[in-house]
Amino acid sequence: QVAWGRSDAAALPAAPVNGDGHLIAGVPEPDGGAPLWLAGATFDRDSHDLAPRDSDAEAVRERATRLHPPSAESIDQAFARGEAQAWVGVRCASGDRRPLVGPLGDAPEDKGLWACTALGSRGLSFAALCAELLAAQWHGEPLPLPAALAKALDTRRTARP
């Protein structure tokens, strides 16, 4: 579960803060309104329930205020006024908890099908690197990480013989 809302931009961090959770401020509002903040996230292994939970909202609020104490009052007020919104989703993860990046198969009918998925709870951290890896693979460019690490993320590592 993550939380999001609007708050006084002066009290929020200028750059994303990551640690035991994350706090990202200045996210553009799709309708062109005031920028948003996003904070999170909880993780309940094997849960498929998409209903927001008050206990998760409280955990997200506590993480956000711990990550950036100068934002605490502003974020606490958004929760107290009922202005903090919740979003719940299920994270896609692989069996070995590593992202899957690369072609989906070697058969002729699979040609051109690629994936960049299973980022799990590290999506913010892995997304840019995995996208760079995928682009380098597409264009035959030098890999942005050692070949052994690229192989450890390859989609074909999960293929059955």
What pLDDT digit, counting tens, does each position of 28-56 carry? 888 877 788 999 989 888 888 899 999 99
- Mark the ranges of the chain whose per-residue pLDDT is less than 50: none
What's the confidence (pLDDT) of residue 102? Answer: 92
Please name the residues in contact with 114: beta carbons below 8 A apart, sequence gap of 6 or more: 102, 103, 104, 134, 137, 138, 155
Contact by Cβ (8 Å): 84, 78: yes
What's the confidence (pLDDT) of residue 161? Answer: 56
Dist CA 131 CA 145 (whole Å): 12
Helix (H) or strand (E) holding 65, with range, is helix 54-67
Q: pLDDT tens across 75-93, in order?
A: 899 999 999 999 999 888 8
What's the confidence (pLDDT) of residue 33? Answer: 77
Using the structure block, give the residue that is written with the tokens 């309104």.
33
What's the confidence (pLDDT) of residue 4? Answer: 93
Q: What is the chain's Cα-based Rg?
A: 19
3-state secondary structure of 16: coil
Using the structure block, give the residue that is written with the tokens 């890999």.
143
